[in-house]
Amino acid sequence: MFRISQFMDELVTPSTVGPRRNPPGPVVIWNLVRRCNLTCKHCYSISADKDFPGELNTEQVFTVMDDLKAFRVPVLILSGGEPLLRPDIFDIARRAKGMGFYVGLSSNGTLISEANIDAIADIGFDYVGVSLDGIKETHDRFRRLEGAFDASLAGIRLCKERGIKVGVRYTMTQDNAHDLPGLLKLIEAEGIDKFYFSHLNYAGRGNKNRATDTHHLATRQAMDLLLDTCWDYRQKGLHKEFVTGNNDADGVYLLRWVARRFPDKVSHIRAKLEQWGGNASGVNVANIDNLGNVHPDTMWWHHTLGNVKERPFSTLWNDLSDPLMAGLKQHPRPVEGRCGACAYLNICNGNTRVRAQQLTGNPWAEDPACYLSDEEIGVKKVTEVSL
Ligand SMILES: C[S@@+](CC[C@H](N)C(=O)[O-])C[C@H]1O[C@@H](n2cnc3c(N)ncnc32)[C@H](O)[C@@H]1O
Ligand code: SF4
């Protein structure tokens, strides 16, 4: 995750540059249930409204939670599928909060209602993220349910009314890129605390539909809008968080934005970006799926490190006999092509390995969604071969 707002803050009130980020345990995104009332076009978990046998029961979830705590995992993001479809979701969330985890709920928002908002508020989630992939029909088409937009927005409003920190998550493809300006207006009008802009990752239905990924020019335009909007808020002294996910080239793109607008701040921001360190899959971000399988992140369900029913998460996470994990934990990562030659590898860390792997079979190939030009990353294109 790339926190644009934090870097904007650095432009105004620079903080000391520390060593590369190295938190105690990884942030764990936990898909507790795969069932979902929606069947979104891009869904990495290929969720649907049916039972998926073999999911962890409450007791198993609690056992894993104890291990995660002992392993010093700081954050649990409870996700799915639709996590609110899990009957014991509030028991799980309450216990997690009681144990001192930072607990986020990752929901499509359609099932947040008058009937459960008191329970949601009572748990004290640190953050509730609701997906909105466009305005009205765009969102409904993307999420394949008429009325989904209205239901999700109603859920967001209920959270706001109860004082819960709430954010919108938006994944951009060619189908909904035109709605980004409208969504940014919506989050302003609704007083929504956070906007998470996600690039498409090539996993599950998102891989099947990867031809809908935006062209690099559209991605750049979206990033320009996002950076300018975030800076606008910062200048007005208004607090709103802007973060991005699934494309660590965003860090380098921000550096270029800073070079144009605030050339005297480039060296500080560059140092801060290096401290952030780019892609964190397999290092600072982990995933446990509904069956208890552990993956380097949510987009690697086709690569399993083992199952928490058989071995503790802590053991699986530190087992470097898995070549993918060994490579992800290596610094610098053994990336190839443009990524290997990039002058900013220490900022972005080679970006998203899943896309490279899905396209070429090689997890270390260059990320096809890096939208920076060869010139921008300091790579000279060989146009002529001299004989
Ligand atoms: C799998 S969903 C689970 C939580 C909830 N059902 C929802 O839709 O928000 C978690 C988040 O991942 C996003 N997501 C799903 N597939 C994705 C993909 N292929 N690339 C990027 N983001 C994706 C969704 O849009 C959502 O914001
Ligand atoms: S993205 Fe979320 S809401 Fe959509 S199908 Fe997947 S789990 Fe369900």
Best probe residue, ligand 2, of 44, 45, 77 (max atoms within 8 Å of C-beta): 45
- What is residue 381's predicted lDDT score, i.e. its pLDDT? 63
Expressed in angstroms and rounded, the spacing between residue 80 Cα and the centre of ligand 2 is 7
Digitized pLDDT (tens) for each residue of the chain, 387 residues in all: 999 999 999 999 999 999 887 778 999 999 999 999 999 999 999 999 999 999 999 999 999 999 999 999 999 999 999 999 999 999 999 999 999 999 999 999 999 999 999 999 999 999 999 999 999 999 999 999 999 999 999 999 999 999 999 999 999 999 999 999 999 999 999 999 999 999 999 999 999 999 999 999 999 999 999 999 999 999 999 989 999 999 999 999 999 999 999 999 999 999 999 999 999 999 999 999 999 999 999 999 999 999 999 999 999 999 999 999 999 999 999 999 999 999 999 999 999 999 999 999 999 999 999 999 999 999 976 444 444
285-288 sheet: strands from edge to edge: 2-3, 241-245, 194-199, 166-172, 127-131, 102-107, 75-80, 27-33, 285-288, 293-295, 306-307
Task: Name the percent of the chain in helix, strand, coil, to the closest 5.
Answer: 40, 15, 45
- What is residue 384's predicted lDDT score, i.e. its pLDDT? 45
What is 18-77 written as a DSSP string?
A: -SSP--SS-EEEEEEE-B-S---TT-TT--BSS--TT---HHHHHHHHHHHHHTT--EEE
Query: Residues enclosing ligand 2, CB less than 6 A?
Result: 36, 38-40, 43, 45, 47, 80-82, 108, 143
Quote the pTM value: 0.96
- The residue among 231, 110, 247 whose CA lies nearest residue 173 is 247
Options 2.60.120.10, 3.20.20.70, 3.30.1240.10, 3.90.15.10; CATH of 2-329: 3.20.20.70
Residue 181's Cβ-side half-sphere holds a number of Cα atoms within 13 Å equal to: 5
> Domain residue spans in the chain?
2-329
Helix ranges (DSSP H) in 144-179:
148-161
The residue type of 387 is L
